[in-house]
Amino acid sequence: MNKKIFLIAGTEDGRRLAQLLSEKNFDVTASVVSDYGRKLLESCAGIKINDKALGRDELEKILREGKFNCLVDASHPYAKNISANATAAAQAAKIFYVRYERAEIFFDYEKIFRVENFEEAALKASQLGKNIYLTTGSRNLKIFVDLLKDFNLTARVLPTAEVLSLCENFGLTPKQIVAMQGPFSTELNVELFRHAKADVVVTKNSGKIGGADTKLAAAKILNLPVVMIDRPKIFYPNTAETFDDVLKFLEEF
């Protein structure tokens, strides 16, 4: 039987996984919520695309009506609500669920301060310096803007019109915005941190593909403290850290 896969593909590795599964002759529908993500998927032959944001009930309806056999959750490691909806919808639709999540980075540096959420990150950063360099993206940027009004923020974000408009609405000036797409080399991170006169770097453990390793290496070179937001703690019925692990699950379930 040609298994029908619904794949939540909001990341680069999620899109690569969708392409791999399609090449392995799975019937793949990949779900994204941004125009940028949709355009990237359109270049992958044989993949159907859902580009509408789905709540838990809408997702369950699609899984049932589309007669999908499996949901592969390759959303971002910090997309807690998406994963919660995905596990619940798959369970309600009585289909197999597997979570693909890129491996974390473990880095030897004594100036890494681990926190559990974005609010804690803002508080810790405020204790470590005046010039705060944010590499956490735009989704939770408002938390830092609201909590760090008396600090100098530099926000590194994707160079899309939607994100830049968001930054402008939050009151950030062009000087405070670094609109570039990563991942970045260690050398480039060093220069960007220096240019912003950063006292502290705030980041997430997004894995190697998210550039966490080069951010940490650059911070260590510059002797900068790093506030690291841990991944949300979620129970997943089945987990895989490699594409091969995902394939093994799909072949055996």
pLDDT digits 0-9 by tens, 14-73: 888 999 999 898 999 999 877 766 776 776 667 888 888 888 999 999 999 999 999 999
d(CA 214, CA 187): 8
d(CA 199, CA 113): 14
d(CA 162, CA 144): 19
Domain count, the chain: 2
pTM strictly above 0.85: no
- Whether 204 is in a domain gets the answer yes
Phi, psi of 78 (to 5 degrees): -105, 10
Which run of H or E residues covers position 58? helix 56-65
Specify whether 69 is located in the same domain as 85: yes
Q: Within the chain, which residues score under 50 in pLDDT?
A: 1
- Whether 14 is in a domain gets the answer yes
Q: Bridge-partner residues for 29, per DSSP? A: 6, 48
The domain of 119 spans: 112-229
Here the CATH number for the domain that contains residue 244 is: 3.40.50.720
- Whether 97 is in a domain gets the answer yes
Q: What is the pLDDT of residue 57?
A: 94
Q: What is the dihedral of CA 237, 242, 247, 250, to 10 degrees?
A: 10
